[in-house]
Amino acid sequence: MYVGELLKNLDRIPSGVPGLDELIGGGFLPGRVYVVTGPPGSGKTTLGMQFLAEGAKNDEKGLFIALFETPDIIVRDMLRYNLGILEYVNSKKIVFYDLGEILLSANRELSWDELFKLLLEIIKRENAKRVVIDSFSLFESFVTNPEGKKKELGRFVRKLRTMDITTLLLSEMLSSEKYTDEYYLADGVIVLHHFMRNYQMVRAIQILKMRGVPHDSNLKRMRFTNEGITVYKEAPI
């Protein structure tokens, strides 16, 4: 093991979310897998699209693997932001893969093993540098039994690293007090919070975990702006 090899991927992958890179020492690390989690309506899909748009802007191909939402609906919903998504879709800088359609048409359920193999095939074929899976939690609906998930997820993460692809797993938060397997296996965990205070919805982002990177894990104010999610330096309240 040489220092050279170790240092070669000290480059950062900018997130595309204004204010986020400053919390994680300049951006994501290449070849890593990150979890983005939060309750319904917290902005996970939006963050994922900002991530891909940022890559597309720099000519990196992005792949969005959709489980239940169809690509046209996602693109339609993103029109409210000035991210230029439509342009990138037309120029194939951002490619959608309607995995839900494939899985719904399949005549049988898959094992975790098969599912992850299928994902790797798609990712290889599209040859993207940035991948978003929306949502990772929904895979369980298509899998025969829940066992083996942790093990196969571990194998999947190992493979992604060898391919030098940066991946965001969007994940539905079941409870703010429970940590799921993904949290421990992923290289980082970003939590999108929303909570009531005096009957007002307060939104915040938090870097719960970020391996190999000095990071600020305090809650930060977050808002939906015309640029998508925007992160601010101060506490949410």
Q: Which of residues 51-110 bind its own copies (CB under 8 A)?
A: 67-68, 70-73, 75-80, 86, 89-90, 100-101, 103-104
Position 223 contacts its own copies (CB under 8 A): no
Nearest approach in angstroms of CB 110 to its own copies is 12
Asked if residue 18 lies in contact with residue 220, where contact means CB atoms within 8 angstroms, the answer is no
Write each residue from 103 to 142 as x if it is in contact with its own copies (CB under 8 A), else as -, in one continuous string: xx------------------------------x-xx-xxx
Token pair for 13: 């992958």
Rounded to whole angstroms, the Cα distance separating 21 from 42 reads 19
**3-state SS class at 66:** strand
**Amino acid identity of 180?**
T
Among 58, 102, 121, 224, binds its own copies (CB under 8 A): 224
Asked if residue 98 lies in contact with residue 135, where contact means CB atoms within 8 angstroms, the answer is no
Write each residue from 19 to 48 as x if it is in contact with its own copies (CB under 8 A), else as -, in one continuous string: --------------------xxx---x---
Nearest approach in angstroms of CB 16 to its own copies is 19
Asked if residue 166 lies in contact with residue 58, where contact means CB atoms within 8 angstroms, the answer is no
Position 12 contacts its own copies (CB under 8 A): no
Position 161 contacts its own copies (CB under 8 A): yes
Determine the size of the site formed for its own copies (CB under 8 A): 77
Write each residue from 175 to 214 as x if it is in contact with its own copies (CB under 8 A), else as -, in one continuous string: x-xxx---xxx-x-x----x-x-xxxx--x-x-xxxxxxx
Query: Quick one: how far is CA 230 from the chain centroid?
Result: 16
Residue 110: CB atoms within 10 Å? 16
Q: Which is nearer to its own copies, 21 or 187 (CB)?
A: 187
Among 150, 227, 230, 232, binds its own copies (CB under 8 A): 150
119 sits in the region (left: phi over 0; alpha: psi -120 to 50; else beta) called: alpha
Token pair for 10: 């000290």
Rounded to whole angstroms, the Cα distance separating 220 from 42 reads 14
